[in-house]
Chain A
Amino acid sequence: MSMSPLAPTARFGIEAPARAAAAAPHQHALAGALARLASDRHRYAHVRVRIADVGTLELDFNEQSFRYDFDRNQLPRCMHSQRYVLTAILAHHHTPAGDTHRVGRLCDLFWIAGLASATDLPVPPDTPLKLVQWPNFPQLPHKIEHIQLCGMLSAQPMSLREIEEHSAFDSQRVRSFVHAAMVAGFLERCSETEALFAPAPRALPKRGLLSRLLDRLGLLN
C-alpha cells in the first residue's frame, strides 16, 4: 500500500484515504510520491522508503544524497511500484544507513522519478526556465531528445512555450523532459533580471552538425 505525501511532523506519514482515492492511479506509484517530495524538499531532513520485494531507499535532504541496498538497475522499474511505505524520520531518530548501502545524488533519483511520474508542470507556459545543471546522462535513463533540449537550453533560458516552438519535438515529449528536469532541480525559473538580459531564443537547426552526427551513429529519432 502506498502512503504519501508525508505528514510534516509525524514519524509515519499516512495519506488520508479520501485524498488517496481521489488521486489518479499514476500518483499512487513511488515516482509520483518522490516527485511530490522533491517539490517539498525543504520540509524533511530524512525520509526512508521501503519498497516491497526490492529494498530500502534512504533520502538525506541535508546531504542531497540517497542510499539504497539494491541493484541500481532496479531503480527505474521500482518507480512504478505501488507497494511501498514512506517514513519521515525526525532528526533525533535518524541513524545513518550502513556501509553496505550504495550512495547516489538525490537529484539523480528525482530525475528518474520525474521521468516516470505524471507531467503536471508547476510553471505557467510563459515563465522563462534556465538550465542550472545537466543531468548525468551517461548514468541516467534518458532519450536523445533530452540531450538536444539541454543543448538548446544551455544557450539561453526559454519558456515551455518557446521550447515547444523552437524544438522539433511534440509537446508531450517536451513536457516530460521539463517536468523531470524541474523535479530534479536541473531546470529552474529565471529571475526577472535574468530573463531581461537573456539572448533571444534560437531554434534547433533542422539539419545541423548534431543531426548529422546522430544520423552517422544511427541515433536519429
Chain B
Amino acid sequence: MGYEHIILFAGPVGAGKTTAISTLSEIPVVSTEAINTDFSISNKATTTVAMDYGQISLEEGHLIRLYGVPGQERFDFVWKLFQERAAGLVLLLDESAKEPLTDLDFFLDRFAGVLNHGVAVVGITRSELSSSKSLSACCTRLQQRRLKVPVFEVDARDREQMVVLLTALVSMVQMRETQLEAD
C-alpha cells in the first residue's frame, strides 16, 4: 500500500503556479481556469478560481499530488483546506511584481500551517532580466524569520529547473518524515 504526498503550489496571481504544475505533472492538469475579471491584480486573460491538480506516480503505489491554489485572497478558504494534509509548500513569487518581499511575507504567514509540520521552497519566477536581487533579498528575509527555506530562480516552463525545485523539496520532506518517525 502506497502513500500520498501532497505538495501545495501557492503564490500571487500570475506567478506561474498552473504552469509549474503542468510542467511537472504526468497527467494533463485538471484546472479550474476562469476568465479574469480583476485586472487590478493581474492582466492575465484567465486565472485559477478553485485549484489545479497534477500528479506524479511512483513505484509501490506512492503518489505525489500537486495542488495549485488560487492566488487571490478571496479564495483563502481553499488555502486552509489543504494545509493540514500538505507535506510541502512550493511558494512561487513573481520577480517582476511591485513588491515580491511583501508577497513572500504574506504567503508565509497565510501558509504557516504547512511550515508547522512540513517544509517549503521558494521559487522566484520571471527573473530573466534580474541581477538576483530578489533572490538575495528573499534569502535575507527568510533568515530574519529563522526559516530554513531554499530559494531558487526558476522558469516555471522549464522542466529541468522545476524538477530541481521539486527534488529539493522532496529531499526535505523525506528528512522531516525521518525525524518525525524517530521522535
Contacts and interface: CB of A to CB of B under 8 A. Distances in A.
Nearest to A209: B174
Interface stretch (A13-21, A48-56, A121-129, A147-155): A147-155
Given A104-B131, A215-B58, A147 B174 contact: no
Given A215-B59, A219-B167, A136 B173 contact: no
A136 B171 contact: no
Given A104-B131, A133-B139, A213-B56, A154 B175 contact: yes
Interface size on A, as a range, is 35 or more
Contacts of B151: 134, 136
B168 A150 contact: yes
Interface in A63-89: 64-65
Chain B's interface size range is: 35 or more
Interface stretch (B65-73, B109-117, B157-165): B157-165
A169 interface: no
Interface string B143-183: 10000101111100010110111111011111111110010
Given A104-B132, A154-B172, A155-B179, A210 B167 contact: yes
B59 A150 contact: no
Interface string B48-86: 000000001111101010000000000000000000000
A205 B5 CA distance: 17
Contacts of A209: 5, 58, 62, 170, 173-174, 177
B136 interface: yes
Interface string B127-138: 000011001100
A65 B132 CA distance: 9
B173 A212 contact: no
B167 A144 contact: yes
B62 to A, nearest CB: 6
Contact of A138 (B139, B161, B177, B182): B161
A104 to B, nearest CB: 6
A212 B62 contact: yes
A103 B131 contact: yes
Nearest to A217: B163
Given A134-B151, A212-B60, A214-B167, A199 B179 contact: yes
Contacts of B139: 133
30 contacts: A102-B131, A104-B131, A104-B132, A108-B132, A131-B148, A133-B139, A134-B152, A134-B168, A136-B151, A137-B168, A138-B154, A138-B161, A139-B152, A139-B153, A151-B170, A151-B174, A151-B175, A152-B171, A154-B171, A155-B179, A202-B175, A202-B178, A203-B178, A204-B174, A209-B62, A209-B170, A212-B59, A212-B62, A215-B58, A217-B163
